[in-house]
Amino acid sequence: MTPTTEAETRSDVAATEAAIRTAGLEKTYPAAGPRPEVRAVRGIDLDVARGEFFGLLGPNGAGKSTTIGMLTTLVEPTGGSAEVYGLDVVRDPINVKRRIGVVSQNNTLDSELTAAENLEFRGRYFGLTAKEARRRADELIELFGLTEQRKGNPFEMSGGQAKRVMICRALMHGPDVLFLDEPTAGLDPQTRANLWKVLRELQAGGQTILLTTHYMEEAEALCDRIAVVDHGKILARGTVDELKNTAGADIVISVSYDAPAPAEVHALADRDGISKVEVNDGQVRVFATASDGLLGELVTIGSHAGVGVTDAHQLRPSLETVFLTLTGRDYRE
């Protein structure tokens, strides 16, 4: 199966009505003093259907947060267009804000208010009466398992508890789209898994969610579709299975040598059934349609060259394989 084409995606989403749609969306920050011009987002096209859980997956600095900033009216685009439920984010920002809920990376709760008061204040801000705001806050506090924290200070809670309060606050006015920017960054694995459960339940109830993350397992666990983003561009998109199929292989064989890989491994790329050979110093990865003794052959190549093998395994392509193939393996700050 090949990844969904842009035309197919637009056609499918048009049939179900788009919750989010962008065309050629760009953001360039002008040069300032010694800082050069920065093209943070370089022409992103998105179509997210209503009720869909959509993920923007990319390394740090890929342009994910800037994209969410434009969609939530916090950052003004310098090119292209963006709509949320048919409302233009530049021409009609007030009505866009009424239709969305936003959960940022950092704790933005009011430290002078309790958890419940943070929620009630947000409800009143969006036009709920005091009684309606209290009732809605009580519903969300119970739904998110925060009853014992309702009178607590948000900055004295655990990271997971504070994040749940932030999600509750974003949901107080019943937004059509919930934006989550790296929602589990810094959380421990158990807290992350518990938050995933809550988010799945939200989507099961019909909530449209757009998530940014650099965690492969998070994107795979939650998202209906994923767009891999880097350097402000979408490099690939589709379901997890569709993206895995772009690896062009059924098996990925990986061998680590205790010295630079022998030159003979490069010749494997010319063999039928092998789509690609990646060599990074002492690590070799072979993308193949079948193993056919390749693992043993790589060990033998190393032995003949006087190079030892420190690790060897073969796996089916993963989302991480696709991600690293598309974005590279250089460390990102």
Residue 329 clears pLDDT 80, i.e. is over it: no
| Same-domain status, 240 and 253 | no
Burial class of 119 by CB neighbour count within 10 A (0 to 12, 13 to 18, 19+) = buried
Cβ contacts of 318-323, under 8 Å, gap ≥ 24 = 318/216, 318/244, 319/57, 319/216, 319/219, 319/220, 319/226, 319/240, 319/243, 319/244, 320/216, 321/244, 321/247, 321/252, 322/228, 322/236, 322/243, 322/244, 322/246, 322/247, 323/57, 323/216, 323/228
Angle between helices 130-143 and 115-125 (to 10 degrees): 130
Whether 286 is covered by a domain: the verdict is yes
Rounded to whole angstroms, the Cα distance separating 56 from 210 reads: 8
Which residues does residue 174 pair with via DSSP β-bridges, in sequence order?
none
| Among candidate residues 198, 217, 244, the one where a domain is terminated | 244
Burial class of 159 by CB neighbour count within 10 A (0 to 12, 13 to 18, 19+) = middle
| Range 214-228 average pLDDT | 93
- H/E element, 311: strand 309-315
Whole-number mean pLDDT of the chain?
Answer: 89
Summarize pLDDT for 161-211 with one digit per residue, the tens: 999 999 999 999 999 999 999 999 888 888 889 899 999 999 999 999 999
| Range 232-247 average pLDDT | 88
Give me the pLDDT at residue 136, please: 97
Summarize pLDDT for 257-284 with one digit per residue, the tens: 999 999 999 999 999 888 889 898 999 9
| Same-domain status, 277 and 194 | no
Contact 45, 234 (CB under 8 A): yes
| Among candidate residues 223, 244, 265, the one where a domain is terminated | 244
Whether 139 is covered by a domain: the verdict is yes
Other beta carbons within 10 Å of 324: 15
Q: Confidence band (pLDDT; 50, 70, 90) for 60?
A: confident
| Same-domain status, 157 and 199 | yes
| Range 64-88 average pLDDT | 97
Lowest mean pLDDT among 53-62, 89-98, 307-316: 307-316
Contact 145, 127 (CB under 8 A): no
Residue 330 clears pLDDT 90, i.e. is over it: no
Question: Which value, in Å, is the radius of gyration of the alpha carbons in the chain?
Answer: 23
pLDDT, greater one: 175 or 247? 175
Whether 174 is covered by a domain: the verdict is yes
Whether 264 is covered by a domain: the verdict is yes
Residue 37 clears pLDDT 60, i.e. is over it: yes
> Which of 92-106, 230-244, 308-322 is the most confident on average?
92-106
Rounded to whole angstroms, the Cα distance separating 145 from 234 reads: 37
Residue 44 clears pLDDT 60, i.e. is over it: yes
Give me the pLDDT at residue 328, please: 65
| Same-domain status, 260 and 120 | no
Whether 154 is covered by a domain: the verdict is yes
Other beta carbons within 10 Å of 288: 22
CATH number at residue 291: 3.30.70.1560
| Same-domain status, 120 and 86 | yes
Whether 321 is covered by a domain: the verdict is no
| Among candidate residues 190, 225, 244, the one where a domain is terminated | 244
Q: Confidence band (pLDDT; 50, 70, 90) for 83?
A: very high
Instruction: Spell out the residues 6+ positions from residue 183 whose beta carbon is closer than 8 angstroms to its own.
Output: 103, 105, 163, 167, 195, 199, 211, 213
| Same-domain status, 118 and 166 | yes
| Same-domain status, 258 and 222 | no
Residue 12 clears pLDDT 60, i.e. is over it: no
Contact 167, 115 (CB under 8 A): no
pLDDT, greater one: 250 or 268? 268
Q: Confidence band (pLDDT; 50, 70, 90) for 2?
A: very low
**Share of residues in the chain with pLDDT > 70 (%):** 92
| Same-domain status, 155 and 194 | yes
Give me the pLDDT at residue 315, please: 78
| Same-domain status, 163 and 97 | yes
Q: Confidence band (pLDDT; 50, 70, 90) for 326?
A: confident
What is the domain range of residue 272?
248-316
Give me the pLDDT at residue 174, please: 95
Question: If you write DSSP's letter for every residue of 62-74 in order, what string do you get?
Answer: SSHHHHHHHHTTS
Q: Confidence band (pLDDT; 50, 70, 90) for 9?
A: very low
Contact 248, 290 (CB under 8 A): no
Rounded to whole angstroms, the Cα distance separating 198 from 227 reads: 22
- 299: region left, alpha or beta (phi > 0 left; psi from -120 to 50 alpha): alpha
| Same-domain status, 156 and 34 | yes
Whether 323 is covered by a domain: the verdict is no
Residue 224 clears pLDDT 60, i.e. is over it: yes
For the chain, the domain total comes to: 2
| Same-domain status, 12 and 135 | yes
| Range 110-136 average pLDDT | 96
| Same-domain status, 298 and 215 | no
Whether 97 is covered by a domain: the verdict is yes
As given in the structure block, the two tokens for residue 75 are 């950052």
CATH number at residue 73: 3.40.50.300
Q: Confidence band (pLDDT; 50, 70, 90) for 7?
A: very low
